[in-house]
Structure 1
Amino acid sequence: MRQARPTVADLRAMRGKRQLTMLRVLTLDEAEAAERAGVDIVSVPPELVCDPRYREVAPSLFTMPGDNFYEVGTADDFVRWAFRLYKAGADAVYCSASYATIKRMADEAIPVIGHVGLIPSRATWTGGFKAVGKTAETAMQVFEAVKNLEAAGAIGAEIEVVPVEVARAISERTSLIMLSMGAGDGCDAQYLFADDILGQTRGHVPRHSKVYRNFAAEYERLQAERIEAFSEFVNDVTSARYPEDRHVVNMSSSELERFEQMLPK
């Protein structure tokens, strides 16, 4: 049986004891599957945690909604946004905005997860969608970003596509809960997207992803079946095979006769 939903204090106490599991899920079905599979942490779209059904299907998932900083606005906007999500059932919020914005939320006791390494919304500053921290100088920049998040009051950080040696060294030197996306097992949690795990991603699949199922093929099969079913319906209608008597309601002959007499001549 699942334990009660972990708190920030629980996650901090688990550091170094076992690897936590984390998924990015987008739907109620995926959230329910993560709950039943024993996943520890999920990242979700804000609207999902605001759905009143969310906590019915995912009562024990430590849940972290997030948006890109340019979707939310100023530091004050972030505080209002975070309080709304916290009230809806979030346990922490993801924020890739400035350290000042993260501090503004932390000052209000909002648990915030930051982001270091490859940050998709800021990838232009680090050379695009590729590993960050492969030189001593850039590795130090990642370390300094982590220390800045600490100083701002964040509780953790997603560390994305950073060399495993760098991520391990940083994790050993920070109080933050480190969430590894392609940064190795020297961190506190392993983080993947449900889309990748389920084989729903078309085109490029990141190096750090592992595909466990082939939902794309199943969706293609279902789409082919959908087209066939619709085509059969069209053919039935055009050839007068639909509707049949079993699909309609009939009036008794006596009532039909009375009705016809009532109609205008």
Structure 2
Amino acid sequence: MNVEKLKKMKGKEKIVMVTAYDAPSARIAQDAGIDIILVGDSLGNNVLGYENTIPVTMEEMLIHVAAVRRGAPKAFVVADMPFLSYQPSLEKAIENAGRFLKVGANAVKIEGGEEFGDVVQRLVESGIPVMGHIGLTPQFVNRFGGYRVQGKTEKSREYLLRSARELEKRGAFAIVLEMVVEEVAKEITEGISIPTIGIGSGRFCDGQVLVWHDLLGLNPDFAPRFSKRYANLYETILKALQEFKKEVKEGIFPSEEHVFTDKSQGGVSS
């Protein structure tokens, strides 16, 4: 997969993107044939235990982007630019985006609309593919006053439409639409030539993205309306750990088949 192939999928084939934050997850996503793996700054909520994405640092993101690349060497990997990694200056944006490509990302994702057109253009001119992200942008949650659906008012609709066109004009190869009302997401999708990838933005986007922990049911306390649980791995893992605890307490594990003796042959797998 590459940028040009993704752009050509618009209107012909739905794009599938998932987040992943480590090598084992990335390998599974690659083996499943997922089109894009996003190393999201949602790493903060789902892996690092932060309340939101704002505390996530470049150093933390770089570690996880590199891990995902090692786990999925053939995948198209997009790295989220964390809060304050691109806002301070164009030079800072180029430097940090370049660091992501050096550890294996194919592209970066930037939250924000028309006001970040210059950043997108400079990155693209520097040889760094950029995926845009408009609608609900979690890094700007304090400005929005919470996690609210976007595009409900005419002012919001016009801003989103302008931003999508501006990001396209400045060279973005795709745009994530997060929690945008379906009618506006449809209008944006039909009004630009690059793909839109929706999360909570309805049925008419060119693709869909879900967070690893949400679609696999790893967080029993979080079930957003726009997401769908395709598994309940929290319960599966919980039962496995409870069974392990029970067997250890009762002396069932390890059994003879799990121990080494002077007659054992070979290494770990024998």
TM-score (structure 2 length as normaliser): 0.76
> Aligned Cα RMSD in Å?
2.5
Aligned partner of 1:175 in structure 2 is 193
2:202 is equivalent to residue 184 of structure 1: yes
* Percent pairwise identity: 30
State the distance in 2 between where 1:217 and 1:91 align.
Answer: 35
8 Å CA contact 2:81–2:97 kept in 1: the answer is no
Alignment partners' CA distance in 1, 2:111 and 2:83? 6
- Residues 7-40 of structure 1 deviation map (CA, whole Å, 9 limit, x = unaligned): 1111111110011111011121111111111110
Q: Using the alignment, how far apart are the partners of 1:70 and 1:222 within structure 2?
A: 40
Partner of 2:38: 43
Distance 1:55 1:115, change over 3 A: closer
Find the counterpart in structure 1 of residue 216 from structure 2.
198
Structure 1 residues 22-171: aligned runs within 5 Å:
22-44=17-39, 45-51=61-67, 54-55=68-69, 57-71=71-85, 74-96=89-111, 98-171=116-189
Instruction: In structure 1, give the amino acid aligned to 2:90.
Output: A
State how far apart, in whole Å, the 2-side matches of 1:89 and 1:248 are. Answer: 44
Distance in 2 of aligned mates of 1:121 and 1:141? 18
Which stretch of structure 1 is more off in the superposition, 85-94 or 9-18? Answer: 85-94
Name whichever of 151-160 and 70-79 sits farther off.
70-79
Q: Do the aligned residues in 1 keep the contact of 2:85 with 2:96 (CA within 8 Å)?
A: no
Residues 89 and 199 of structure 1: is their aligned pair in 2 closer, same or farther, counting only changes over 3 Å? same
How far apart, in 2, do the equivalents of 1:7 and 1:84 lie? Answer: 19
Range with bigger deviation, 157-166 or 216-225? 216-225
1:56 Cα deviation (Å)? Answer: 5.4
Structure 1: tracts of 5 or more residues without a match: 1-5, 234-245, 250-265
Of 10, 13, 16, which residue of structure 1 is paired with 2:11? 16
Cα deviation for residue 71 of structure 1 reads: 4.7
Structure whose CA Rg is larger: 1
| 1:181–1:192 CA contact under 8 A, matched in 2 | yes
Distance 1:76 1:208, change over 3 A: same
